[in-house]
A and B are shown apart, each in its own frame.
Chain A
Amino acid sequence: MSPVDPVSRSAGTLTDRARGLLRDERVAERPGWLQAVHPVVKLLGVFALIVVTVTFDAPGPPAAMLAVTLVLAGLSRLPPKAHALRTGVPMAVSLVIVAPQAVVFSGSALAGPITVPGASYVATFVLRVGASVSLLGLLLSTTRFASLLGALRSLRVPRTAVTMLAITYRYLLVVFEELSRLVLARRSRRLRSATLRESWREAGALLGTFLLRALDRGERVGRAARSRGGTTGRTYVRRQAIGVADAAFASVVFAAVAAGVLLT
């Protein structure tokens, strides 16, 4: 078995994903500022902040918004490395994508072929993406998924949609483990490196087996849910009092949105 066999590497990808999912659930349980904010307030606040952020057309405001998100991340005791990675990778990718515009934009030269308007556009774009991703990361890391579903239900998102999201989330770890086991079983059966053709044939059978097992499991879950009295799912709405943390977060959102509107 080759150590760089991509099919075998999938087990690592699955483990990383599962680890990230569990880490977010753990962080959401920590005492922190945003963890104490009501999920509905937090969801609406973060959405409003992202809406304002994506309308910025100069580098200053998104940079300030990114700084605000980093302060919020600190106050909410988010793991700095994980949050930096979550924000930094999309920023780096965005930089690579829009970097040619630093040269393409016409205007006075900044350094070599790079123009001032071009550099300004690239900086604005990357900071805008970074601030948006950081805001979304704040929401996801400080909110348990069940609370997020409760917030969606409170905002009148149809029950069926929320139930589907809940079941999908609930079975993520189960299906991750199932696929990991299939990948590891394939790996343990191999005595030599797979050729490209063999890899594809095995991956097709593996994928087919996995999806069939998932379908069987889904049918079993459906029958079990029906036998318990229904498949409409629970409401996920939980009562939580509005407190100081909510007022403080709402103030931050209001101030940021007002500043954003005045600046654009």
Chain B
Amino acid sequence: MHILDGYLDLWVAAVAALTSIAVLAFAARRSAGELDGPRAPLLGVTAAAIFAAQMLNLPIPGGTSVHFVGGAFAAILLGPHLAALAMTAVVAVQALVFGDGGIVVLGGNVLSMAIVEVYVGYAIFRVLRPYHERVAVVAAAWTGITLAALTSAVMLGVSQAFAYDVGTVLSIMGGWHGLLGVAEGAITLLAYEFVRETRPDLVADRTSTIDRRRLFRRGSAVVGGLVVLSPAFAWAAGRVGYTEPLEHAAEATGATAHAVTTLPGILPDYGIPGVDPYVGTLVSGVVGAALVLAIGWLAGRPLDPDREPR
């Protein structure tokens, strides 16, 4: 995933570097007390260890091998801010000692491997851990590495220096790292379980709990806001002449002439016959959101830890 000098346009490298500096400054500020104290050497040694751990080859079917990346695992062990700083040290040493990745594009490599991978991995872990710890670890590692690769792909795709377009780079890097992410998830889980068994204190102090009322309030606000805005979306779609891709394809190929309505639905075309279309869209939004929430609530009940303790 290391990008070399010459692959990115200068402006892309500059934007990535500035973004990385801003995020790392925030991370350093949030962990200032720990950086000046005895945890500074701990971070440095941990960074060196993650670097070394990345050289551990693991077999995969087909005779080839993969290696551990460790961004999500570092985030789980150290917390996101310290992990971002440790992974930055790893990426910087790789560039400044071994020449893995360029010096002008260092900000881009830090952005994908030390920021996106760490923060996304940690966020996924925090969200899923209350439901299922092992799934949370695997999902954190998989999502972290995949989104890190997609970040690199976007940087490469928008660069004129790299002639492939964004879609091509995204599909190739996303697909490949989506597969590698499975291995990353598996090895992260194995290492996590080992640490949890031998040093549970290292992973126990960041146990997250869901504030259900807060979650409900925030979720309702987001969904309610989107529902209220749905007539605006309908108006904007009309202004730009947007049609559903499948409907567009059907019209272009003449398939609509052969269309047969088997089930008209309660709210056909997200509207109510005889009612103003924007009011119909709003009512459809309210009904649809309520139905999805109800189904989601019913489907999620078996996952409730109070009902079925793990």
Contacts and interface: CB of A to CB of B under 8 A. Distances in A.
Interface of A: 4-7, 9-10, 13-14, 17, 20-21, 24, 46-47, 50-51, 53-55, 86, 90, 94, 98, 101, 104-105, 121, 125, 128-129, 131-133, 135-137, 139-140, 145, 148, 158, 160-161, 163-172, 174-176, 178-179, 183, 196, 199-201, 203-212, 214-215, 217-219, 221-223, 225-226, 231-233
Given A94-B4, A207-B191, A166 B44 contact: yes
A68 B267 CA distance: 71
Contacts of A176: 52, 55
B45 A221 contact: yes
Contact of B52 (A51, A175, A209, A212): A175
Contacts, number: 256
Contacts of A219: 38, 42
Given A50-B103, A136-B99, A200-B187, A13 B48 contact: no
B45 A214 contact: yes
B57 interface: yes
Nearest to B199: A212
B120 to A, nearest CB: 21
Nearest to B57: A6
Contacts of A166: 44
A202 B55 CA distance: 15
B127 interface: no
B187 A140 contact: no
A163 B38 CA distance: 12
Contacts of B85: 164
A168 B93 CA distance: 8
B201 to A, nearest CB: 11
A176 B48 CA distance: 9
A105 B47 CA distance: 43
Interface in B46-87: 46-53, 55-61, 63, 65, 68, 73, 77, 85-86
Closest 8 A-B residue pairs measured CB to CB?
Answer: A204-B190, A167-B44, A208-B194, A214-B49, A222-B38, A218-B45, A132-B5, A218-B42
Given A168-B48, A171-B44, A221-B42, A90 B28 contact: no
A54 B161 contact: yes
B90 interface: yes
Contact of B89 (A104, A164, A175, A206): A164
Nearest to A226: B38
Given A46-B103, A164-B43, A200 B190 contact: yes
Contacts of A9: 57, 65
Given A212-B195, A223-B38, 18 more contacts: A50-B5, A90-B4, A132-B102, A136-B95, A160-B28, A164-B40, A165-B44, A171-B49, A174-B48, A175-B49, A207-B56, A207-B68, A207-B191, A211-B50, A215-B202, A221-B42, A222-B39, A226-B38
A94 B44 CA distance: 32
B6 A132 contact: yes
A176 to B, nearest CB: 5
A136 B103 contact: yes
Contacts of B55: 10, 13-14, 17, 176, 179
A263 to B, nearest CB: 16
Contacts of B308: none
B232 interface: no
Contacts of A231: 36-38, 40-41
A245 to B, nearest CB: 21
